[in-house]
Chains A and B, each alone.
Chain A
Amino acid sequence: MMRRRNSSFAPSGLARPNSSTHSLRCGLHSFAASRLGHGVRRTIFQYFLPLMFCFTFLGQVWAQGGGELRFCLRAEPKTFDPLKVEDDASVSIRYLTGGVLVRMNRQTQALEPELAQSWKVSKDGKSISFKLRTGISFSDGTPFSAEDVAYTVQQLMDPALHSPTGDAFRSGPSKVETKIISPSQIAITFPAPVAGLDRLFDQVAILSARSSKKEMAVLGPFMVADYKPGTTVLLKRNPNYWKTDAQGRKLPYLDSISLDIQPNRDVEMLRFKRGEVDLINALDSEYFDKLAATSPQLVHDAGASLDSEQMWFNEVAKAPLPAYKKNWFRSATFRRAVSQAINREDLSRVVFRGHAQPAVGPFSPANKFWFNSKLKPTVYSPQASLKSLQAEGFRLENGTLKDREGNDVVFSIITNSGNKYRERMAVLIQEDLQKVGIHVNVVTLDFPSLIERMTQTFDYEAILLGLTNVGLDPNEEMNVWLSSSENHQWNPQQKTPETAWEAEIDRLMRAQASGADAKKRKESFDRVQEIVVEQAPFIFLVNKNALSAVSSSVQGASPVILHPQTFWNAERLTVTAK
């Protein structure tokens, strides 16, 4: 379901037909023809009207060039240092202020040149060389060169940094080598192959090696002009930004962006309705429908996002659970049967009001390249679920499922309190599983308590949570899929893989991570997706849609599924006076 605003999909304000100018010209034409003599008329047509037209056109251009865009950050940005960024608010600021060598187009998902005119990844996937643009300066006027790229990479790869951006590049224990070939050419060599190496540079904002302002000297379209903690971050247009539009006008069009720090989503929505903010990203489906009922032109449903909602059972050997429960949770048949008994269509329809798609596997279909299109969606069938459970030795007695030893099949699902969608999903799952005799208790905990149970005490039976995917490449999820890793949620930190299928996933993930051939990598990860669906360590439930709202005063917005959804093309947005 896609709602489109009439004016929002034009590439830029300048490309649109200027209807107001046209009508003004027609009006003056008829006025002149009826009241004035031929000579005067000629003068008007020859000089005055073209002049008027030019003024009107220039006025429009000038009007489109200015304006302030306002939207909310949902938390305080933890840092303005682009290399240390880990939270969403800081990611948004980095996106708007940071200049990168290559940028992934959020609409096409293809890589595009930015500060680098061209780049080349070596066949072994260890090295990348960039040819840089020349004549570019940072916001403080210091010139940009290969030296800045080398400096940024060295800072990023500092082992003490501990940032997600830097960790994504770490392939081996040795140092990263940077070789400045000329002021506009640089080669970077990593100790071991880095899968999807060029794409990772989308997240690396280049720092100035020489500026005294350090991270506040930027190459992106905007720069941080003011920061009022807890209240606002004000970004102003970077006067030295290098990009121009097709007509040769300097980008960005906007004068400034005001980012109001507003953790309360109800307040954000109220402020949008009052016209105090212009955009809302990741809109709740409830708000989406309310807004759509009154102003359908303001809301956008871009379809399934990369984010998934999933549940999993505790398969940790040392978990403080009765042995018979561990046996259920470690049985792939049991997990698959539970998966079959959950009605995903209902979850999408009831909980997300139709703004979610039943999940097929680990990756959403929104990930155009990496999604395995051969995967079959799990068909909801309580009968088939019960049948496979019975084949495994379970039996239904007076509406209650019992295992071989006669234990009632009862378990609890934990989710984070305050997330109304997950709480509702848990209740629906509870109802669905009751149909096959499984009794589910729903428990909500605050997030730190839940993480403690999940990662330290392992004192849980099943967890319902979501996974927010920032990147597209499976390499960014290595720590989820490798059996030895911390984030292998269902059974983390295994010394050696405890099951054959986990050993196979380990092998395939390592194979895809060390290869530079995208086709071979895709084959490996397709197989990983198949194994995950077969074994159901994660029971993927839904992929939420990317919902957003854009005020009618914003021109040029074209919301997409990838972060930052509504303002991915911020440099080409304009805001008309409210």
Chain B
Amino acid sequence: MPGRTTLRQTMLGWSIARHGLAMLVTVLLGGLLSATLVRFAPGFDVDENQLDPRLNAASVQALRDARLQEHNVARFYYKSLMRAAHGDLGTSISLGQPVTTLLKQRAPLTLRLVSIGLLMSWSAALALALSAAWWRSASYDAVTTIVSGLFLCLPAAVLALLSVLWNVPGSLAIALIVFPRSYRYARNLLAKAYSLPHIITARAKGLSELRILLWHAMPVIGPQLLAVAGVSVSVAVGAAIPVEALCGLAGFGQLAWQAALARDLPLLVNITVLVTLVTLLANSGADVLGQALRGEHA
């Protein structure tokens, strides 16, 4: 049916364009909001080095002047956007290095931490959720629910500290932070799917579990699982901040923490924009992919 395919493609194209526009607006607003919050945070105007008794009045004044350029938020943000359009993200006040360089240096570690963390958490969540759906054992379900509940109750900082104490990788801490959320959604979706009449019938007829999962369960739960996966990216990126800060890992999270403490406006705004962008990309990507899958299924 070529007409139906074209319509579906047009709708998908519209959906991508809508998501793109929403992303752009959200990112710009996020950046402005972040700049405004930092600008009006107490202690924005000061530099700790002002307290160095060896500095003379001219040097202290020079430190103050450096902050004056950022007093007007609107002007700062406009200038930052203009510079960003030419590939210049400004210079970090606290670290004295170009923001682009800092982000490039820190990105690989955070990317690795978050990717491995997500992979571990989703592998564990899907394995446990599937086994719970297949076995349908009340005691097994109870044990997995209690374990995931326990991790859900533990603050991210505690898990990060435990990973330091036990000398385990930070990615495991991120995995344990994401795991309970992924597991609970995956378990509920799978349990619901496996109670559908056609899947019960398929199991009664003796179809293999793998065939049931891939041919009957996944088409039903796929789009929803993708949406949860999108959300879990945001959770993992958020978890990277305390994990990196507490474990002393030199990624975005640690950089964001240092920038916040130093009221480093250029660095904070760029990190906020980048994190917002990653989160939106993950969520919108999951949405669009889910929509495409639903369309395919229909």
Interface status of B120 (Cβ within 8 A of chain A): no
* Interface size band for A: 35 or more
On whether the beta carbons of B50 and A162 are closer than 8 Å, the reply is no
Which residues does chain A contribute within 8 Å of B53, judged by CB atoms? 467, 476-480, 487
Which residues does chain A contribute within 8 Å of B161, judged by CB atoms? 266
On whether the beta carbons of B250 and A261 are closer than 8 Å, the reply is yes
Contact with A270, one of B41, B58, B95, B165 (Cβ below 8 angstroms): B165
Interface status of A78 (Cβ within 8 A of chain B): yes
Interface status of A124 (Cβ within 8 A of chain B): no
Which residues does chain A contribute within 8 Å of B62, judged by CB atoms? 162
Contact with A451, one of B51, B96, B101 (Cβ below 8 angstroms): B51
The residue in chain B whose Cβ has the minimal distance to the Cβ of A448 is B43
Contact with A229, one of B45, B49, B105, B247 (Cβ below 8 angstroms): B105
Which residues does chain B contribute within 8 Å of A262, judged by CB atoms? 248
Give CA–CA (A452, B46) in the complex, Å.
Answer: 6
Interface status of A153 (Cβ within 8 A of chain B): no
Interface status of A244 (Cβ within 8 A of chain B): no
On whether the beta carbons of A479 and B96 are closer than 8 Å, the reply is no
How many residues in B have their beta carbons less than 8 Å from beta carbons of A? 45
Contact with A263, one of B55, B97, B109, B248 (Cβ below 8 angstroms): B248
On whether the beta carbons of A230 and B105 are closer than 8 Å, the reply is yes
Interface status of B184 (Cβ within 8 A of chain A): no
Minimum Cβ distance to chain A for residue B106 (Å): 6
On whether the beta carbons of A455 and B54 are closer than 8 Å, the reply is no
Interface status of A140 (Cβ within 8 A of chain B): no
Contact with A264, one of B52, B247, B251 (Cβ below 8 angstroms): B247
Which residues does chain A contribute within 8 Å of B96, judged by CB atoms? 78-79
Which of A262, A264, A274, A480 has the largest count of B CB atoms less than 10 A from its CB?
Answer: A264
Which of B97, B248, B251 has the largest count of A CB atoms less than 10 A from its CB?
Answer: B248
Interface status of A450 (Cβ within 8 A of chain B): yes
Interface status of B167 (Cβ within 8 A of chain A): yes
Give CA–CA (A262, B254) in the complex, Å.
Answer: 11
Contact with B56, one of A445, A455, A479 (Cβ below 8 angstroms): A479
Interface status of A181 (Cβ within 8 A of chain B): no
Give CA–CA (A262, B245) in the complex, Å.
Answer: 10
Nearest first, the 5 closest Cβ-Cβ pairs linking A and B are A230-B250, A448-B43, A164-B54, A449-B42, A162-B59
17 further A-B pairs in the complex, CB-CB below 8 A; given A76-B95, A162-B58? A79-B96, A162-B62, A164-B55, A167-B54, A167-B56, A229-B102, A230-B105, A230-B251, A263-B248, A263-B258, A448-B43, A448-B262, A449-B42, A452-B42, A471-B54, A479-B56, A486-B50
26 A-B pairs with CB atoms under 8 Å apart are A76-B95, A78-B96, A162-B62, A164-B54, A167-B55, A170-B56, A228-B250, A229-B105, A230-B106, A230-B250, A230-B255, A261-B248, A263-B254, A264-B247, A267-B164, A274-B167, A448-B42, A448-B48, A450-B43, A451-B46, A452-B42, A452-B43, A452-B44, A455-B51, A479-B54, A479-B55
